[in-house]
A = this chain, B = another copy of it.
Amino acid sequence: MAKKAIILFSGGLDSTTCLAIAKSQKYDCYALSFSYGQKHSSELDAAKRIAKSSNVKAHKIIDLDLASFGGSALTDDSIDVPIVSENSTLETNIPITYVPARNTIFFSIALAWAEVLEADVIIAGVNAVDYSGYPDCRPEYIKAFQAMADLATKAGIEGKGVKLETPLIDLSKVEIIRKGYSLGVNYAETVSCYKADEKGAACGECDSCIIRKDAFEKAIKKDPTIYV
């Protein structure tokens, strides 16, 4: 029986690269996305298209109204997504786009699915650049989640618990893109922008766009993103 991987799958550059990595490792792939009140829902449309074209075994989209808690520019209409000028450096503090406990919630729901599927791994595309101050993208956090998960589930306490893997955590955005290209990823399908329009065109101005543009430049690859 093939090994099973659940991929936390936003339809963005990182998670699409993770899906390609899982496929190259011969996992049966199960994509997990969330409709959590994010403003950039064109991301979800991208996720659906890519999951389909990648022949995943299943793609589950969980509705979860994190917007009802507020507190983040990504879900709270009263907070603007910040625009970073191309010449400025990104903030080193925790950005306003941080969604409280988002990864913890996503990983926890993946853990539930993993137990039912008897999945071997959960793959999440967190990495050092996307981190940019998000507490729940750091290696020490990932390690603590794993320790908790090993105690949380029937499979875990039987020693057959799922492993949370973060293959991009030590890679720069440039290295991620190079990795993806080597695996045949079509980045034109992916959406990174926090404020992409309904057709998936990117603003070119938010944190996520700036990081992406810069990385494609450094990777000496043509950025396939369509900007408004």
Interface residues of chain A, those whose CB is within 8 Å of chain B, are: 60, 62-66, 68-71, 94, 98-105, 107-109, 111-113, 115-116, 135-136, 138, 140-141, 144-145, 147-154, 156-157
Can you list 13 A-B contacts with CB-CB less than 8 angstroms, sorted by A residue number?
Answer: A71-B115, A99-B112, A100-B111, A101-B153, A104-B108, A104-B111, A105-B105, A105-B111, A135-B151, A135-B154, A144-B148, A144-B151, A144-B152
Closest Cβ–Cβ distance, residue A46 to chain B (whole Å): 22
Is the beta-carbon distance between A136 and B112 smaller than 8 angstroms? no
Report how far A99 CA is from B94 CA in the complex, Å: 34
Is the beta-carbon distance between A70 and B116 smaller than 8 angstroms? yes
Closest Cβ–Cβ distance, residue A76 to chain B (whole Å): 9
Closest Cβ–Cβ distance, residue A58 to chain B (whole Å): 11
- Closest chain B residue, CB of each to CB of A99: B112
Across the interface, A147 reaches (CB within 8 A) one of B64, B69, B148, B154, namely B148
Is the beta-carbon distance between A154 and B116 smaller than 8 angstroms? no
Given A100-B111, A144-B151, 7 extra CB contacts under 8 A: A69-B113, A101-B111, A101-B152, A135-B156, A136-B153, A147-B148, A148-B148
Chain B CB count within 10 A is highest, among A60, A71, A104, A140, for A104
Is the beta-carbon distance between B63 and A65 smaller than 8 angstroms? yes
List of B residues within 8 angstroms of A64 by Cβ: 62-64, 109
- Closest chain B residue, CB of each to CB of A150: B144
List of B residues within 8 angstroms of A152 by Cβ: 101, 103-104, 135-136, 141, 144-145
Q: A135-B152, A151-B144 are in contact. Are A102 and B112 (CB under 8 A)?
A: yes
- Closest chain B residue, CB of each to CB of A71: B116
Is the beta-carbon distance between A60 and B68 smaller than 8 angstroms? yes
Closest Cβ–Cβ distance, residue A184 to chain B (whole Å): 31
List of B residues within 8 angstroms of A68 by Cβ: 60, 62
Chain B CB count within 10 A is highest, among A70, A100, A144, for A100
